[in-house]
Structure 1
Amino acid sequence: MTFRLHMEQAVLRTLADFPRELASEIYAVTFRIDSVDQDPRFPYLAIGYNTETEAARALAQGGGSEPWESRWHYAHFPPSGLEGIRVVGHDPAHDPVGAGLHRSEAMARGLWYEDEDADTGDDPEGSLSEEEQDERGEQLTEQFSELCVDLARQLHTDGRLVGIFGRPLPVILYDMFDPEAMFATTRAANPPELVTEFLSEDPEGQPLG
């Protein structure tokens, strides 16, 4: 099994585990992209959701916070939206199968490195400079983010979200490696009509002047 197929199957299992009694209340699926100990070798995806009731509660308790913030910003999400209900990817504690697949494929691509591979200054043969490790980490981060965007996009093209919830829902992506990228990744992952409200606060989409 490939890492991508493992992730795809895990996403579908997780969506099927969302509480059926909340199906009409759920207005967004959430994908939180993060990594274990902020190490780019160990990226994971926390899959969750938010509900109309939770958004209303956040707004009421926000002390004047803006409606957009309460509804769409991860800082106001309940655990079901921020922490998710399942973690998948290269997280040995939560997804040992995914961790093994991701490591194997990273090794096959020449992107994996161990801590002992670092150049200690003695210039041993085969050691990696800090810059080389950073470059590999950046590639691993980029590839995982692209995979998460593609998985979200596939939920739309395959009709999975409509099949589960009876209607299309946006998938909101929050990349904890790069929080400012949430607008770009969410735009790339969804039909435009589903994320109009979310993208209304995108600085890149605001008129100048």
Structure 2
Amino acid sequence: MTFRQHMEQAVGHALTQFPAGAVPDIYTITFRIDSVDQDPRFPYLAIGYNTESEVARLLEGPGPVDPWEVRWSYAYFPPSGLEGVHVAGHDPERDPVGSGLHRQESLAQGLWYEDGDELSEQDRDERDERLEARFHELCVDLARDLHAGGRIVETLGRPLPVILYDMFNPDEMFALTKAANPAALVADFMSAYSGEDG
């Protein structure tokens, strides 16, 4: 099994773990891209969701809030959207199989290194950047595959957007999410994007 195949299985399985009672209320699937101890060699994906009820609860609370922020910003996501229901990737504690596959493939690609390896800082930085970019690309592909293969509709009963965000690179959230979804599904999300590509 490849790391990609492992991740595909993990993402599909995560959708089946969404509580049945919450499914009619879910409006988005969340992909939180992160890494163990902020180390790009150990990337993982937390797969979760958010609900209309959670948005309504926050909008009814005290103080002014921006409706777009409440709906789409991970700063407002509950544990189901931030921590997710399932973690997959190079997290030795939560996904030992994925960790082994990711390390093996990173070695084969010449990207893996150990802390004690004699590498220049520039070489480490370049490998880190490539590892991070590859994982981001994989997460985008995983979301695209959920749409193209009909897995979201099959499991949750209707098309839903997949919001991708990296908490250490929030500016990339729009580019990742735009690349991962049909445009119509993320029109409201992308309405706050002011970048040149928007």
In the other structure, the counterpart of 1:81 is: 81
In the other structure, the counterpart of 1:29 is: 29
Question: Structure 1 length normalisation: TM-score?
Answer: 0.92
Contact conserved, 1:199 with 1:205, CA < 8 A, in 2? no
Letter in 2 for 1:150: D
Please state how far the C-alpha of 1:96 moved relative to its aligned partner: 0.4
The 5 Å alignment of 1:1-209 reads 1-61=1-61, 63-117=63-117, 127-204=118-195
Residues 114-162 of structure 1, C-alpha deviation per residue, up to 9 Å, x if partnerless? Answer: 0001xxxxxxxxx210110010000000000000000000000001111
**Distance of 2:2 and 2:165 partners within structure 1:** 24
Please state how far the C-alpha of 1:56 moved relative to its aligned partner: 1.1
CA 1:30–1:5: 2 relative to 1, 3 Å:
same
**Distance of 1:99 and 1:151 partners within structure 2:** 17
Unaligned runs of 5+ in 2: none
Unaligned runs of 5+ in 1: 118-126
CA 1:206–1:186: 2 relative to 1, 3 Å:
closer
Please state how far the C-alpha of 1:201 moved relative to its aligned partner: 0.4
**Distance of 1:10 and 1:136 partners within structure 2:** 26
**Distance of 2:99 and 2:194 partners within structure 1:** 35
Please state how far the C-alpha of 1:21 moved relative to its aligned partner: 1.3
Give secondary structure in 2 for the equivalent of 1:50: strand
Give secondary structure in 1 for the equivalent of 2:24: coil
Letter in 1 for 2:103: R
**Distance of 2:35 and 2:59 partners within structure 1:** 29
Give secondary structure in 1 for the equivalent of 2:106: helix
In the other structure, the counterpart of 1:121 is: none
Letter in 2 for 1:173: L
Give secondary structure in 2 for the equivalent of 1:172: strand
Residues 42-93 of structure 1, C-alpha deviation per residue, up to 9 Å, x if partnerless? Answer: 0000000000001111222362111000010000000000110111100001
> Runs in 1 of length 4+ with deviation above 4 angstroms?
none
Letter in 1 for 2:132: T
**Distance of 2:60 and 2:111 partners within structure 1:** 47
**Distance of 1:131 and 1:60 partners within structure 2:** 50
Contact conserved, 1:32 with 1:45, CA < 8 A, in 2? yes
**Distance of 1:84 and 1:205 partners within structure 2:** 31
CA 1:116–1:153: 2 relative to 1, 3 Å:
same
Letter in 1 for 2:125: D
Contact conserved, 1:156 with 1:190, CA < 8 A, in 2? yes
Contact conserved, 1:62 with 1:70, CA < 8 A, in 2? no
CA 1:109–1:206: 2 relative to 1, 3 Å:
closer
Supply the RMSD in Å over aligned alpha carbons: 1.3
Residues 162-184 of structure 1, C-alpha deviation per residue, up to 9 Å, x if partnerless? Answer: 11111100000001241110000
Question: Structure 2 length normalisation: TM-score?
Answer: 0.97
Please state how far the C-alpha of 1:206 moved relative to its aligned partner: 9.2
Give secondary structure in 2 for the equivalent of 1:40: coil
Identity of aligned residues (%): 64
